[in-house]
Amino acid sequence: MQSNPDHDNYRSAQKRKLALRRLSPLMTILFLLLLWQWLSDRELVSPILVPPPADVYAAFAAALDDGSLVKHTLVTLGEMLYGLLLGVAIGLVLGYAIAKAPLLEYILSPIIVAFQSTPIVAYAPLLIIWFGTGPTSKIVTTAVIVFFPSLVNAIVGIRSVSPRLRDLMTSLNAGPWRAFRLLELPSALPVILAGLKTSTTLAVIGAVVGEFVSAGSGLGYLVTTARYQFDTPLVIVSVLTMTAIALSLYSLVAYVEWRSLAWQRRSAA
């Protein structure tokens, strides 16, 4: 069987494009690192404000070596995951209920919109007073911030189910549970997972805002103490760790989305 040269060229061009697309985030990071090093070498910005990458790496190695970075990261991660679980669960359940009973939307929307439109930093101190200075207040702060995207996407997802398919389920005498399992959940899943991706990135903000207000551990606490000790490299290490956590969780949800929606891609193909 002879291969088609045009087709081969097209395929290799596509492969190169794909590889470039996959490498582009790494290239952006590399470019920023080089720019950072270049600015530091020429002392175009004060090392007090922006320490050189080598100092940040040294702070990273030291914090890793003495165990403080792992300890504080685990604290923040724990608060985030519990908060994410709580906020998303409440958001999904309430979102489903609102999608099914529009009256609930009228009743609850003033509270929900009020909570969402107020910056979390404004009422985080209140959450600390109400829920104590321990991890509970950080979990609640996280839950509050991740709740809204889950809620909205659950409402949109359930309401976007095709009426034609609903009629089909009714004609097949499917009960509410079967309709939910076989129709509503699969139909709403892409939108719900999109909301979950937003929620995972917001979860870092929730936990760290809570830690900024009051904490004895966690990455927010590490930033505050490092700042008061003028350890700017450690501040940057903490911030980059938060970014890494957010990116990892986002990627995890994206992977789950890719796996769980395989049927959708197959049916589209």
Binding site for another protein (CB under 8 A): 46-49, 125, 128-129, 132-133, 213-216, 221, 224-225, 227-231
Q: Tell the residue number behind the tokens 């990116």, with chain if given.
A: 247
Q: How many residues does the chain have?
A: 269
Q: Which of 84, 147, 90, 153 is nearest to 116 (CA)?
A: 147
Judged by CB, which is closer to another protein: 10, or 130?
Answer: 130
110: number of Cβ within 10 Å: 9
Q: Which is nearer to another protein, 73 or 214 (CB)?
A: 214
Q: Please, what is the minimum distance in Å from the beta carbon of residue 269 to another protein?
A: 54
Nearer to another protein, 199 or 214 (CB): 214
Q: Structure tokens of 181? A: 């399992």
Count of C-beta atoms within a 10 Å radius of residue 70: 12
Report the nearest approach of another protein to the CB of residue 245 (Å): 22
**Helix (H) or strand (E) segment spanning residue 79:** helix 68-100
Give me the least distance between CB of 142 and another protein, in Å please: 17
Minimum CB distance to another protein smaller for 196 or for 209: 209
Work out how close the CB of 67 gets to another protein at its nearest, in angstroms, rounded to a whole number. 16
By beta-carbon proximity to another protein, the closer residue of 130 and 255 is 130
- Rounded least distance, CB 213 to another protein, Å: 5
Minimum Å gap between C-beta 212 and another protein is 9
Q: Which is nearer to another protein, 152 or 213 (CB)?
A: 213
Backbone CA torsion sign across 37, 42, 44, 50: positive
Closest CA to 80 of 237, 256, 205: 205
Is the CA virtual torsion 91, 97, 98, 104 positive or negative?
A: negative
Interhelix angle for 135-159 vs 102-117, to 10°? 140
Name the minimum Å distance from CB 22 to another protein. Answer: 39
* Cα(117)–Cα(21) distance, integer angstroms: 36
Closest CB to another protein among 6 and 65?
A: 65
Q: List, in sequence order, the alpha helices (H) in 132-231.
A: 135-159, 163-171, 176-179, 185-213, 219-228
